[in-house]
Chain A
Amino acid sequence: MVAGFIIELLQITLVIGLAPIFAGWVKMLKCWSQGRSSPSILQPYRNLLKLFSKDIILAENASWIFRFMPYLVFGTGAMVSAIIPILSTDLPLSLTADVIVLVALFATARFFTALAGMDIGTAFGGMGSSREMMIASIAEPAMLMAIFTVSLSCGSTSLARIVETIYSPASVIKPSLVFAFIAFVLITLAETGRVPVDNPATHLELTMVHEAMILEYSGRHLALIEWAGMMKLFLYISLGVALFAPMGIAVYATPAGISLAFIYLLLKLGFSGIVIVLIETGFAKMRLFRLTEFLGAAFLMATLGMLSFFMLE
């Protein structure tokens, strides 16, 4: 039990600490793929440090929601880090919070982000919030559908149980999981605001989604939000890795098992970064109203997964 809590703490520290490096890795690969030299892999840390050392400029009519949101978003990220089996499935907290809670936690963070976007009353914030909610209204059902498919297939909604079931030697590749995986990849791109759904590099006022909502933030508030954004990307990738490629994860929390799991994790993250960058370099951003088709496809895949579970498994 104590070992379990140590693992929990380890995971939280790992996510908070490693997320900027992963973001730096993706940025680095992206620069290389465009044929230019890249900033250091530690650049996101420097950006965060810069933001933390700056003052906050707060709008006169900002309410508590605006000031509260950065901490909430960051806190949610930390909490989710304790639920997802990143290094080990031996997580005491994963019994208290299953995969539906996980989706709800992300939804809470998003809800408050959208509220904060509208709080100041600028046109851009409201525009970003409305777009974000449009994306959420299609992405979240698709996400739940994909997750239900996996839960059905594994007979549990606890993430640790699911991962253990998939990781067990008796597990074989099931068509339902393949469909769920495709759906999950599409949703991850939408949820983490990557090309072709949103452009994390842009500050073009009128095309932004996530950036539009946080346009009024500065200083440590902005640093926390950006950090939380990096954590979100990291967590989605870790979740995908845990669900669909759990090789090397530590079922029992032994130091050797954890170390091995850590090395596997680095390899898998490195590889995921390459996949993200290939998608981002090869595709242009979609027209906003094409997103319904894109996320509709994700929902369809998840539904097909569920159907194939009932028919084939």
Chain B
Amino acid sequence: MLKEAIDNVLGTSATYNKRQFPASVVSCTVPRNRFADAAKIMKKAYALLAAEWAVDETPFGGGFAVYACYRFANEYLIVRTEIPIDDPTFPSLTKKFVPAYRFERQIHSLMGLVPEGHPDLRPWIKFEDWPEDSWPLRKSFASSKPLPHVNGKYKWIKAEGEGVYEIPVGPVHAGIIEPGHFRFQAVGEMIINLEERLGYVHKGIEKRFESLSWQEGAKLAGRVSGDTTVAHSIAYSLAVESVTQAVITERAHWLRALFLERERIANHLGDIGAICNDVAFAFMLYQTTRLKEMLVRTNLKLFGHRFIMDRVLPGGVTVDIDEKGKEEIKAELDILSAEFEKLATIYDESASLEDRVRDAGELSPEKARSLCAVGIVARASGLNLDCRLQNPFPPYDRFEIKVPVLISGDVHARAWVRVEEIRESIRIIRFILENIPEGEISIAIGRPASDTSGFAAVEGWRGEIIYWVQAGIKGEINRCMVRDPSSLNWLGLEQAIPGNIVPDFPLCNKSFNQSYSGHDL
């Protein structure tokens, strides 16, 4: 449908790229002056912007390229446009799609391409203490050399008026959490604006990928966001397998799904407890933490790592499960399921808890849609988005799954989506254990052909994770684009907060629980 829409309007000015895998993901190149038109067409077709990124294609003899990936129902479509070196500008998509706002700031800061018509070109992720003309993602950037220190200044959004005051929070917080800065403008206790400043955990992951081999890349992908290690490894591996056109065994796919669902349950348990703890209902935190600990200990025993890190590689997985292991997981699930239902009842029946979580931090379905939210946040705000359902990667194309969707968009909705997903994941794991096919768990992976690219989208516990990899001239990694769900959902938090009172912020933030590391890369 998206392809037809492009064809209808742009006609022959859009050329299709045959070197993009898997073939189901359409990729077309449009002239630079039609890039924004393509976005307009996508907007009309009700598509959402999934990611926007830039690539330095000078090794192929070209200049730069900007890519925008759109999603509608079960389709992904990538629009690419080429940008000459001597005029590094491209039309901004921010007016069509709000999340382009941050993607383009990122492209501007890290690749040095100027989005024309963008309302706010302050640096994003890159710090103002770096020289303005150092663009780390360009191939010409010498990453081993130290940079000179410049005293830049970040211009914060200001609010003025009687009784308006600012509360700067972070980047170092009172707790063992990642760093991020939040600046509130408030009147009394009422928040009128929240501005986020992220980038404190920028590690240069995308740049680092370019100096690694395809196998080593899996290790790095597993460390993009530690709590989502399985989902990131799977997404990277699927992208690599698609670019090399490898077909891995069924058993490997099913084992990956087993790991993925275990990761989902563990993180959702932690989140539900943390949400309750933020309203001083600590009982819940200790109980869910106990259950989570039970899960990760079984992971350690059966798969050799508490978070199943480095167990998924391009080509398959490194650990198998035997009959004894299956029985152990089944027994564990029986305990988990019984205890979790008791806790869900306590959550559901505590009036004082309900009073706090209802109507707090509301992200309306309209806002969620215009911000192109994904994952739990989207499903709590009425958007039925789940890669496992709409773009099923194997083995999710082999069985039915139920995806909970709530429309109230408040803290309760985000908590309850997690409760329902835990129930569903328990069911999925039981199904996997009963039906997992026999066979090998990994195969050897070849080297991709020159100038080919691969794409994969995986539903991690936070939401859709996208990897786009491009092979260089000799088949090495030329570019690896990582899009964690947090890149989109942080905007959702910023928009859900105004109108709430200051003491409700930690609760709202916990219900989003986005990754800093996955966003800052």
Interface positions of A (Cβ within 8 A of B): 30, 33-36, 123-124, 126-127, 131, 195-196, 199, 201-207, 280-290
Contact of A204 among B167, B276, B350, B506 (CB under 8 A): B506
Find out whether the CB atom of A284 lies under 8 angstroms from the CB atom of B286. no
Find out whether the CB atom of B189 lies under 8 angstroms from the CB atom of A289. yes
Q: Give Cα A206–Cα B508 distance, bound, in whole angstroms.
A: 12
Contact of B166 among A33, A123, A206 (CB under 8 A): A123
Given known contacts A195-B280, A205-B169, A283-B352, is B174 in contact with A127 (CB within 8 Å)?
no
Q: Give Cα A126–Cα B278 distance, bound, in whole angstroms.
A: 22
Q: Give Cα A131–Cα B188 distance, bound, in whole angstroms.
A: 10
Q: Across the interface, which residues of A come within 8 angstroms of B356, CB to CB?
A: 284-287
Closest partner residue, chain A, to B287 (CB atom): A35
Q: Give Cα A196–Cα B282 distance, bound, in whole angstroms.
A: 12
Find out whether the CB atom of A196 lies under 8 angstroms from the CB atom of B503. no
How many Å from the CB of A153 to the closest CB on chain B?
A: 32
Q: Give Cα A267–Cα B280 distance, bound, in whole angstroms.
A: 28
Q: Give Cα A123–Cα B276 distance, bound, in whole angstroms.
A: 26
Q: Quick one: which of B479-521 are within 8 Å of A by CB?
A: 501-507
Given known contacts A205-B173, A207-B506, A286-B352, is B168 in contact with A35 (CB within 8 Å)?
no
9 A–B contact pairs at CB < 8 A?
Answer: A35-B290, A126-B165, A201-B282, A207-B507, A281-B282, A286-B355, A287-B501, A287-B504, A288-B189
* Residue B175 is within 8 A (CB to CB) of chain A in the complex: yes
How many Å from the CB of A217 to the closest CB on chain B?
A: 14
* Residue B279 is within 8 A (CB to CB) of chain A in the complex: yes
Find out whether the CB atom of A127 lies under 8 angstroms from the CB atom of B276. no
Interface positions of B (Cβ within 8 A of A): 165-169, 173-175, 189, 276, 278-283, 286-287, 290, 350, 352-353, 355-356, 360, 501-507
Given known contacts A205-B174, A287-B356, A287-B501, is B165 in contact with A33 (CB within 8 Å)?
no
Find out whether the CB atom of A202 lies under 8 angstroms from the CB atom of B189. no
Q: Across the interface, which residues of A come within 8 angstroms of B173, CB to CB?
A: 205
User: Between A and B, how many residue pairs show CB distances below 8 Å?
Assistant: 85
Given known contacts A34-B282, A205-B174, A206-B506, is B189 in contact with A196 (CB within 8 Å)?
no
Chain B CB within 10 Å, residue with most, of A195, A202, A288: A202
Q: Apart from A123-B168, A285-B281, what are 13 other A-B pairs with CB-CB below 8 Å?
A: A34-B283, A34-B286, A34-B287, A35-B283, A196-B352, A202-B280, A205-B174, A206-B502, A206-B506, A207-B503, A286-B356, A287-B356, A287-B501
Q: Give Cα A111–Cα B353 distance, bound, in whole angstroms.
A: 32
SS class, residues of chain A in contact with chain B: loop
How many Å from the CB of A277 to the closest CB on chain B?
A: 11
Find out whether the CB atom of B355 lies under 8 angstroms from the CB atom of A284. yes
Q: Across the interface, which residues of A come within 8 angstroms of B169, CB to CB?
A: 205-206
Q: Give Cα A188–Cα B18 distance, bound, in whole angstroms.
A: 73
Find out whether the CB atom of B276 lies under 8 angstroms from the CB atom of A284. yes
How many Å from the CB of A219 to the closest CB on chain B?
A: 18
Closest partner residue, chain B, to A195 (CB atom): B280
Given known contacts A123-B167, A283-B352, is B286 in contact with A288 (CB within 8 Å)?
no
Closest partner residue, chain A, to B289 (CB atom): A36
Contact of B355 among A201, A280, A290 (CB under 8 A): A290
Q: Give Cα A155–Cα B77 distance, bound, in whole angstroms.
A: 84
4 tightest Cβ-Cβ pairs between the two chains A and B: A285-B280, A199-B280, A284-B279, A203-B174
Given known contacts A34-B286, A284-B350, A284-B352, is B175 in contact with A204 (CB within 8 Å)?
yes
How many Å from the CB of B164 to the closest CB on chain A?
A: 13
How many Å from the CB of A71 to the closest CB on chain B?
A: 26
Q: Give Cα A127–Cα B503 distance, bound, in whole angstroms.
A: 10
Q: Give Cα A124–Cα B186 distance, bound, in whole angstroms.
A: 13
Find out whether the CB atom of A206 lies under 8 angstroms from the CB atom of B280. no
Q: Across the interface, which residues of B come within 8 angstroms of A281, CB to CB?
A: 282-283
Q: Give Cα A91–Cα B80 distance, bound, in whole angstroms.
A: 87
Q: Across the interface, which residues of A come within 8 angstroms of B278, CB to CB?
A: 204, 207
Q: Across the interface, which residues of B come within 8 angstroms of A280, CB to CB?
A: 280
Q: Across the interface, which residues of A come within 8 angstroms of B282, CB to CB?
A: 30, 34, 201, 281
Q: Across the interface, which residues of A come within 8 angstroms of B290, CB to CB?
A: 35
Q: Across the interface, which residues of A come within 8 angstroms of B280, CB to CB?
A: 195-196, 199, 201-202, 280, 284-285
Chain B CB within 10 Å, residue with most, of A35, A203, A287, A290: A287
Q: Give Cα A285–Cα B360 distance, bound, in whole angstroms.
A: 14
Q: Give Cα A284–Cα B352 distance, bound, in whole angstroms.
A: 5
Closest partner residue, chain A, to B169 (CB atom): A205
How many Å from the CB of B177 to the closest CB on chain A?
A: 10
Q: Across the interface, which residues of B come within 8 angstroms of A126, CB to CB?
A: 165
Closest partner residue, chain A, to B355 (CB atom): A287
Q: Across the interface, which residues of A come within 8 angstroms of B166, CB to CB?
A: 123
Find out whether the CB atom of B165 lies under 8 angstroms from the CB atom of A123. yes
Q: Across the interface, which residues of B come within 8 angstroms of A206, CB to CB?
A: 167, 169, 502-503, 505-506
Q: Give Cα A30–Cα B166 distance, bound, in whole angstroms.
A: 36
Q: Across the interface, which residues of B come within 8 angstroms of A123, CB to CB?
A: 165-168
Q: Give Cα A290–Cα B282 distance, bound, in whole angstroms.
A: 20
Find out whether the CB atom of B286 lies under 8 angstroms from the CB atom of A127. no
How many Å from the CB of B185 to the closest CB on chain A?
A: 11
Closest partner residue, chain B, to A202 (CB atom): B280
How many Å from the CB of B287 to the closest CB on chain A?
A: 7
How many Å from the CB of B169 to the closest CB on chain A?
A: 6
Q: Give Cα A174–Cα B385 distance, bound, in whole angstroms.
A: 62
Q: Give Cα A290–Cα B352 distance, bound, in whole angstroms.
A: 11
Q: Give Cα A100–Cα B321 distance, bound, in whole angstroms.
A: 72
Q: Across the interface, which residues of B come within 8 angstroms of A199, CB to CB?
A: 280
Find out whether the CB atom of A288 lies under 8 angstroms from the CB atom of B501. yes
How many Å from the CB of A293 to the closest CB on chain B?
A: 11
How many Å from the CB of B511 to the closest CB on chain A?
A: 14
How many Å from the CB of A32 to the closest CB on chain B?
A: 11
